Structure 1
Amino acid sequence: MKERDNYIKAPHDLIIRYLDGFASLEEKKELLYWLKSSDENRDYFIQIRDLWLACDSAMATDAEIDIALKRLRNRLIFARQKTVSPKRFRIQWQQVAATFLVLISVGYGFYSKKRIVETVQEIVVQNQLITATGSKGQFILPDSTIVWLNSGSKLVYPEHFEKDRRVVTLEGEAYFQVAKNKSRPFVVQVKDLDIEVLGTSFNIASHAMLDKVETVLLSGSIKANINATGKKNPIEAKRVTRLQKRNRRDNH
């Protein structure tokens, strides 16, 4: 009964606004909360998204829509036949189909697959890597960048990087071996500093009790962008650079 209530309480209007690209930041947060509340909610959203993706444009014919519905229904039957009773499946399918009809009736139309994929990725899931005091860890990020996280440090990164840049947030110390991608700079946010990279190896140290960020560049080049002023400082290879966080001055 609880799972059924999850489907009945699905925020259909919010899902429609999100897929159509009109959801506000607060609405996106609300949808993300609903998605995280249960696996059933996430599965239901995927069903609706698949229906949305089934049509590439608002010019889709009734026959094409009918085919898309039948294909999804067959897939759901195959996936759920061992775990869901016929009565429960009818309830779930009727709700999926009803939501799909709402999408058509409200006149939102259908966008290209590329547009939908981009909007779906706007719900950003943040991951955290934390090393306890006295321990270290090696991790591989979604873009294949390798990170060695020092003791008592934390790295925050998204499950999917943005299409134009790769942003992570660091507290503590880490060594980065950045995967090269000239069209998507790698940015390490440290307090009010942004360390921008295209592809290089470097070390960053920044702890809460210190007023300085220390970078050691081993290869390639990076830029330290001081957010408050917008000033960018190029840093050469094999050079130690200390950047004042409090006074925003460079000490080379």
Structure 2
Amino acid sequence: MSAPFVGFGLGLRSTYFDAVISEQPDVDWFEIISENYFVAGGKPWYYLDQIKERYPIAMHGVSLSIGRTDELNVNYLTQLKKTIDRVQPMWISDHLCFSSLGDFNSHDLLPLPYTHEALSHLATRLNQVQDFLERPLVLENVSSYLSYTQSHMTEWDFLAELHHATGCQFLLDINNVYVSARNHGFDPMEYLLAIPEQAVAQIHLAGHSDFGTHIIDTHDQPICDAVWDLFTRYANMRAPVNTMIERDDNFAPFSEWLSELDKVRQIAPLSWKKND
């Protein structure tokens, strides 16, 4: 089932809590980092309880590690489900990757090999997670800096196959596509257009750090011109998709962040504008 189109949002970060509450900005929705709310109370919930009275909320996780080969972390899933029950988000998402194995945590979002074996494993894990949470899970593509010799399909073909096999939807991070395209030398538009339109529930836009020979997905810079261009070209070929901006460090003044969101609205085709 497709996520409803609710417009243009921002990633909710503690830096901006006070500004959101005092200014009540023209933002259609906010996305929270799920794990930041795995507590009973405190500052995160004090602010979120006020913000979610006015704005719809989506939840975005960073620690599910759905591609891991050992058992899923039931304690993590239990905490996630409790948080979902309290937030009542529009939808929930996490990354199509693995980050942990047993007690080892890489603290990074590592890509899977793009094989039929990995596809089957991921489809099984997705069903297990969704059955536990009693909700669908949206999966985000990650940036990558390495490739596997075992892979026998492209990342975009892998995602398309996963959608056809399970019906799952994706959080399409256009910055991550651009980062991987630069690092691996493929055409980012070929990637974007290969993902079935009905499979895209949400879009992320963000910044990165460019080191010339390679780029790193740091989410601490303004969105670059090349990513704006990719979003413009993609948006003009697609039906409306919920789109938001992420920033995880080196935070700009709130007014500058809102200006970036205004640029998203200006770029989006007329068909993406909400009827207020």
Q: How high is the TM-score relative to the length of structure 1?
A: 0.27
Considering Cα pairs closer than 8 Å and 6+ residues apart, tell me whether 1 or 2 has the greater RCO.
2
Q: Larger % of helix: which?
A: 2
Q: Which has the larger radius of gyration?
A: 1
Q: Larger % of strand: which?
A: 1
